[in-house]
Amino acid sequence: MEVSPPVKPPRGVKPVKETSGLLMSVIRTLSASETNEQRDKEKSKLENEYKNCDKKLDELVSKHEEDLSKVMQLFATISQIVSDNRSKIAKVKENLQDCKKKLRCRRDELRNLWLEGLEYKYMLQLLEEIEKMSEVPNRLANYMTHKQYLHATKLLVEAVSLGKNTLEGVESLKELSRELEQKKEQLHIQLFNELKEHLFTRPAQRIVALRRQESGRDNFMINSPLQRSTELRLSRNRMAVRRNIMESAQKLEVNDFQVVEDLSNVNPEENSFHFIVILIKCLALLDKLPFAVNRIKDEMQVFLLAIVQRTTQHIKDFSGLQTEVDYKHSLKELVQTLFDQFKEIAEAHAHFSRNVEEAAKVHGTQVKTYTVQFYWAQVQCVLEAFLNEYLDVQNISSDAQVMTTSDVNDLSSYFGRRKQPTKKKSLFKFDSSSSALTLSSTLKTTKKDKIVVCRPHSNNILVVFVPFMCFIEDIEQLMGVQNGPCLLHRFITQYVSDIYLKRKSEEIIDQIEGAVRAADAWKATVLLDCTADYKPLLISTVTVERCVREWRAVLQALPLYSERIAVYSCKALKEYKDTCFAAYQGIVQPHSEDRRICSAAWLKDEDISRFLKSLPNWVNLKAQQEYQARSERIRRVLRRDQRSEEESPEDVRKRNRREAEILASNLGEGGVSAAEILSDMALLKELAQLQESMEWFSVRMFQYASEFRQEPSLLSPSKPDNDNIECVSPVSAAVLQQLTSIAQEFDELANTCLLLLHLEVRVQCFHYLLAQSHYNKETHEPDPKVLELSRVLANVDEAVTSSLHPRKCKYIFEGLGHLIAKILISSAQYLQTIDEAGIQRMCRNIFALQQTLTNITMTRELALDHARHYFELFFLSPEEILNGIVEKGPEFSELEYMNALQLLNRSQAHRDLGSVAVHLERLSDILGEVGMTV
């Protein structure tokens, strides 16, 4: 029969409370009733209710009879169980009381048994520990073989601790304990070697392998700036990624320096940063962490120098050095590789220092670790020693000390040829320098048997300066340098400023002095180009230009020192400029001041020089030179269709007539003596060679000066594209103006030489054509002076043609026919008489000169035809000359006609002054009517 479980009344509804007050109420009613009727009434009422209650009870009993019987049975069973348990408990209590009584009787015996049990248990533990101790060597060897140093260290530390404490009295384990202690000492040495390997050698090897892999097995050198830029960017990206990996590994794997070593890892050294942490943990467990840190600090320079040597050997083995360029590339590659290695090693040391501090806190060890500033200071010392080796600073210092012993005021010793220093034995050493003092004693012991990729020389600074400055800026940022530049920066700056540039300036000045002091300095020439228009240059000038190219190379390699380079260049070039001007003076003024060359004296006059430069032929020459220079700058050949248009004979005559008239008016009256001309063709050739050399050199000088006008830009090593930096720091306007002025003075000297040659040829024409001499009238040859002038002109042409550009030769001889014609025509006024033989002699002279000039200029000199026509007038009478002017027009000027009429009158047997006056008056009238066309 299923009975529904009781239902909980709803919340807030209070169940009806049953009270026992009903019986009391009945009793009070009965006691308070006055009559029996009332009591009977209440009694009957109660009886009825009792009957109803019994009736209901009977109904309920009958209704739940089965359940009630089951409950009664269960209750009987439980009651029986409870009674049984009570009896059992009573029996147990009786037994316990009995045991208690018996135990009190055996207490001492039990205590003895308990103590024996403890002794046996301790002996079993000792036996287990002894068994473990016997297995330690094998387990340790297994861990060491697989480089599972953390497990090996814990095992060894535990075993040594057992041998010293628990198992100290075991005689059979004493030898094993001593062996384990020795292995413990050996273990920390091995751990230090492994730490050194991962702090120095492994990072360096990674960089070398990476650079070799990226640059290719067959072409280890990286020559392309683009490849260099890409490689530097990849290197920086790799370093950033490695730092992130290192930080994440440190966060994930080290928790309160509880390092986890995975025994299933086949290569524990694969993750170098985690392996360093394991080594730090092992050293901390061995209590050797202070020893390892101190030894790394003490021997850091030695370790870094070993990396330099290994990398040098690697570069030398794989670069295939043959030429000087290969050596420079190898040195640059070595420097870049070392920089990358030092940065990679810096990451490992930063990781090492952080974990050493954590390990010291956890293990309570006092460890004085080092900072990144200490590491970079050691790197700077090593790099300073590296530079001392490759820049040959020791020998430079010795030379400088030797030179300081000479008297700087002794001009003869300054300009004299210096002796080359012998390399057998150095008089002084660089051991007491600031750079050498920074090296530790252990560092100095490693100087034996050094390996280098190229010969030590001061010029190596040109290869390594820019990479070093980029690296210095990087380490200054990493070190957080705020109080001025770092030590390496100061060392390089001091070396370049105080040693290299000064020595380079002295070397270049010595080269220039040696070139200009040679016996054939102004005669010996060299042909740099085999093209038709290219002419030989003075070897001394070529040598000086090579020195300028050396300065240009220095400028490109040391862009931060452009100001000092410009100053040193000005110093050397100013001395050479003075020497060139002295050489020019030696050519044009070989004697005292009283015997000056006429053409040179004229050129000293600024008005005459300015006049010659204002003439069209000079302007045209300079325009052609500028056009060719511009064409060469854009590297294209000057084509024929790009040349200026050919001038007509009339244009040429007009262009050269003014110069001829000016020169004739100044030189035609007094004449020129033999002492006022340059009769030695060798001097004219030297002058031509000087002109060509000075012009060529001035162009190079202007190009060199333009190098200092580049827009300055920041030398930022953080940008990898700046590996091939060619920007130049700004130069002061005064120095730049001085350098440009020197270049202009070389150009002015070249112009002066060319103007002198141009003027000298014309002065010699006056000298020979205006000379008074007695002629042999019987011969049919030209006058001796004319023949001599022809020979001189031919010799001059031969001298200048082999030394000057064709357009300059053209400038020298162009218009010479007009001048000769002007001289010959003007000479008519100085003739006393003229006859038919004299006329024919003058025509022969003109023909001889015309033939000479035609051979020189390769064009017919029409001006000499004009002069010949003038002398053919003397075959006519004055009336015929005047009638010809009326019929054909004037061919000559009025003065020339007047001189002709006067000469014809002087040549008559009976001179008639009246007729000459009539002819001159008629000439004036005719020319006034027809107009003058000259």
Note the pLDDT tens digit of each residue in 687-714: 988 999 999 999 999 989 888 876 444 3
Average pLDDT over residues 432-447: 48
Q: Are strands 525-526 and 537-538 parallel, antiparallel or unpaired?
A: antiparallel
Q: Report the distance separating Cα 401 and Cα 412, nearest Å.
A: 20
The residue ranking higher by pLDDT, 252 or 509, is 509
690 burial via Cβ count (<10 Å: 0-12, 13-18, 19+):
buried
Q: Judge whether 561 and 461 are in contact, CB under 8 Å.
A: no
Give the per-residue SS3 of 821-888. Answer: HHHHHHHHHHCCCCCHHHHHHHHHHHHHHHHHHHHHHCCCCHHHHHHHHHHHHHHCCHHHHHHHHHHH
The pLDDT value given to residue 175: 67
Angle at which helix 225-253 crosses helix 202-215, to 10 degrees, equals 140
Average pLDDT over residues 32-51: 82
Most confident of 148-157, 282-291, 301-310, 451-460: 301-310
Q: Report the distance separating Cα 868 and Cα 858, nearest Å.
A: 20
Q: Report the distance separating Cα 394 and Cα 397, nearest Å.
A: 5
Percent of all residues in the chain with a pLDDT value above 90, rounded to a whole number: 10
DSSP assignment of 68-135 equals HHHHHHHHHHHHHHHHHHHHHHHHHHHHHHHHHHHHHHSHHHHHHHHHHHHHHHHHHHHHHHHHHHHH
Q: Report the distance separating Cα 234 and Cα 566, nearest Å.
A: 38
Residue 442 confidence class, pLDDT cut points 50, 70, 90: very low
Residue 57 confidence class, pLDDT cut points 50, 70, 90: confident
Residue 594 confidence class, pLDDT cut points 50, 70, 90: low
Count Cβ atoms below 10 Å from residue 863 Cβ, excluding itself.
27
The residue ranking higher by pLDDT, 862 or 793, is 793
pTM summary value: 0.70
Most confident of 99-113, 580-594, 811-825: 811-825
Q: Mean of the per-residue pLDDT values for the chain?
A: 77
DSSP state of 316: H
The pLDDT value given to residue 746: 92
pLDDT at 641 over 90: no
The pLDDT value given to residue 303: 92
Average pLDDT over residues 254-260: 64
Residue 369 confidence class, pLDDT cut points 50, 70, 90: confident
Q: How far apart are the first and last CA of the chain?
A: 162
147 burial via Cβ count (<10 Å: 0-12, 13-18, 19+):
middle
Q: Report the distance separating Cα 697 and Cα 700, nearest Å.
A: 5
Structure tokens at 331: 């040195």
Note the pLDDT tens digit of each residue in 515-535: 888 888 788 888 877 665 677
The pLDDT value given to residue 117: 83
Q: Judge whether 823 and 664 are in contact, CB under 8 Å.
A: yes
pLDDT at 45 over 60: yes
Q: Report the distance separating Cα 854 and Cα 849, nearest Å.
A: 8
Backbone angles phi, psi at 525, to 5 degrees: -130, 165
pLDDT at 78 over 80: yes
203: nearest Cα among 348, 102, 371, 40: 348
Average pLDDT over residues 227-250: 48
Structure tokens at 580: 């060139």
The pLDDT value given to residue 425: 43
Q: Judge whether 603 and 756 are in contact, CB under 8 Å.
A: yes
Distance of CA 883 to the CA centre of its chain: 85
Residue 256 confidence class, pLDDT cut points 50, 70, 90: low
pLDDT at 432 over 60: no
897: nearest Cα among 929, 922, 863, 864: 922
**282 half-sphere exposure, CB direction, 13 A CA radius:** 30
Average pLDDT over residues 676-687: 85
Average pLDDT over residues 859-881: 83
Structure tokens at 42: 């209440």
pLDDT at 582 over 80: yes
Residue 415 confidence class, pLDDT cut points 50, 70, 90: very low
The residue ranking higher by pLDDT, 325 or 495, is 495
Note the pLDDT tens digit of each residue in 748-803: 999 989 988 888 888 888 888 876 555 555 566 778 888 888 898 888 888 888 88
Structure tokens at 259: 């390092």
Angle at which helix 149-164 crosses helix 107-145, to 10 degrees, equals 140
The residue ranking higher by pLDDT, 630 or 491, is 491
Residue 478 confidence class, pLDDT cut points 50, 70, 90: confident
The pLDDT value given to residue 288: 86
Average pLDDT over residues 622-641: 60
Q: Judge whether 760 and 684 are in contact, CB under 8 Å.
A: yes
Percent of all residues in the chain with a pLDDT value above 70, rounded to a whole number: 74
The pLDDT value given to residue 608: 79
SS3 170: coil
pLDDT at 289 over 80: yes
The residue ranking higher by pLDDT, 764 or 235, is 764
The pLDDT value given to residue 85: 93
The pLDDT value given to residue 732: 85
Q: Report the distance separating Cα 167 and Cα 178, nearest Å.
A: 12
The pLDDT value given to residue 79: 92
Note the pLDDT tens digit of each residue in 371-392: 888 999 999 999 999 999 888 8
pLDDT at 310 over 60: yes
Note the pLDDT tens digit of each residue in 341-358: 999 999 999 989 888 888
Average pLDDT over residues 551-574: 89
| Torsion angle defined by CA atoms of residues 119, 123, 125 and 131, in that order, rounded to the nearest 10 degrees | 180
Q: Judge whether 511 and 549 are in contact, CB under 8 Å.
A: no
pLDDT at 498 over 50: yes
CA distances from 644 to 532, 623, 647 (A): 20, 10, 9
**Range with the poorest average pLDDT among 237-246, 526-535, 539-548:** 237-246
The pLDDT value given to residue 784: 85
Residue 106 confidence class, pLDDT cut points 50, 70, 90: confident
Q: Give me the residue label for tokens 């040597």.
A: 309
**Range with the poorest average pLDDT among 215-219, 621-625, 786-790:** 215-219
Q: Judge whether 346 and 375 are in contact, CB under 8 Å.
A: yes
The residue ranking higher by pLDDT, 165 or 618, is 618
**Residues pairing with 537 in the sheet:** 526
pLDDT at 725 over 50: no
The pLDDT value given to residue 81: 94
Residue 90 confidence class, pLDDT cut points 50, 70, 90: very high
531: nearest Cα among 637, 629, 626: 637
Q: Report the distance separating Cα 496 and Cα 560, nearest Å.
A: 10
**Residues pairing with 526 in the sheet:** 537
Average pLDDT over residues 223-236: 44
Integer Rg of the chain from CA: 59
